[in-house]
Amino acid sequence: MGLQKAGISIIAGIDSDPICEFPFTSNNGARFIKADVREITGHDLSTLYPSDAIRLLAGCAPCRPFSPFRRGTDNSQDEEWGLLAEFSRLTKELKPHLLTMENVPGAASKPVFHKFVRDLRRLGYYVVSKSVHCPRFGVPQHRRRLVLLASRVGHVTVPAGPLTSENFRTVRDTIASMPILAAGETDPRDRLHRARSVNDTNLRRLKSSQPGGTWEDWPEELRAECHRKATGSSYRSVYSRMVWDEPAPTITTQAYNFGTGRFGHPEQDRAITPREAALLQTFPRSFRFVRPREPVFLSQVGRLIGNAVPPRLAFYVGKELIRAAHAFKERSRK
């Protein structure tokens, strides 16, 4: 969506997860191909582009193997680890004019990423990558992402984002106007504005939580056993409320769950809803994630929202890719 809003024509999207099909096709008006990327060839991709197109290949290997939450774990045998190599293979076979990739910043320190960059440069690509802070792009969350751009049609630059901290969008700017809900309730006009139910203990924890605080705000009897152990006493990034006048924490695939991060609503005694999480990711309110009359499964919708590249970030990346394409066309005319 972000690339499309920047002015790039989206031809197709490929994913092995069938739940991606409806949101991709209904919101972007492009073809969805359900396939394992390891079974796709550069020739398969080449048949999708118009003959005279400047070809862009945009991809994102799953970030799970590179996540900081798996620090200290040997992920090199994870089947998702090798998907970056598949991206490299497809680039070699297709030779697109432009390429972009997004991942967690930790990926930049991994040997598989270094090899990916070396392979691109051997193919003649100019390659740049940088960790960017999403609030600088108008994304109201403290999300950091690694953005890579590669070009064989000229110079490209990872955009820095136009905003400074004085202009960052906040939680209040983004979700303050959403209808009030209690835990377990659903907005009758929007099925994605649905607050997950909580048990009595977590409801009491919610009521004792302060915006930006920790479980240390709770009375002693509400603290979990893990909080009393030395190994868990310093882990304060869960069971907390968001702060109205700051960007949100990073939206994850379980942002609808109070116990998995700082995902408590700033005022209401509930976690944020999938719709609020999507807004904090900069999806428009009208974005459709689930087919009409199909049930909303929080885990599925949460995965779609949390794994997404924020459209506002992708918009600025798209503008830089378009600038490079236009410069190439101008040089070609001379």
Segment 82-111, tens digit of pLDDT: 788 899 999 999 999 999 999 999 999 999
Domain boundaries, the chain: 2-167+310-333, 171-306
Q: Give me the half-sphere count of Cα atoms (radius 13 Å) on the Cβ side of residue 67.
A: 12
Which residue in the block uniquely carries the two structure tokens 């092995």?
Answer: 16
Distance, in Å, from the CA atom of 81 to the CA atom of 72, rounded to the nearest integer, reads 15
Segment 190-225, tens digit of pLDDT: 999 999 999 998 899 889 888 988 777 887 778 776
> 171-306 has which CATH code?
3.90.120
Predicted confidence band of residue 64 (pLDDT cuts 50, 70, 90) = low
DSSP symbol at 268:
S
pLDDT at 235: 54
Predicted confidence band of residue 75 (pLDDT cuts 50, 70, 90) = very low
Predicted confidence band of residue 316 (pLDDT cuts 50, 70, 90) = very high
Active-site annotation holds for 226: no
Beta-ladder partners of 54: none
Segment 36-49, tens digit of pLDDT: 999 999 999 999 99
Say which residues have a Cβ less than 8 Å from residue 126's Cβ, sequence separation at least 6: 150, 151, 152, 154, 155, 156
Segment 259-292, tens digit of pLDDT: 888 999 999 999 999 999 999 999 999 999 999 9
Domain 2-167+310-333 - what CATH class? alpha beta
Catalytic residue among 20, 60, 63, 226: 63
Residues 33, 110, 149, 115, Cα dihedral to 10°: -90
Answer whether 36's CB lies under 8 Å from 83's CB.
no
The pair phi, psi for residue 231, each rounded to 5°, is -70, -20
**What global pTM score does this model have?**
0.91
Distance, in Å, from the CA atom of 268 to the CA atom of 177, rounded to the nearest integer, reads 13
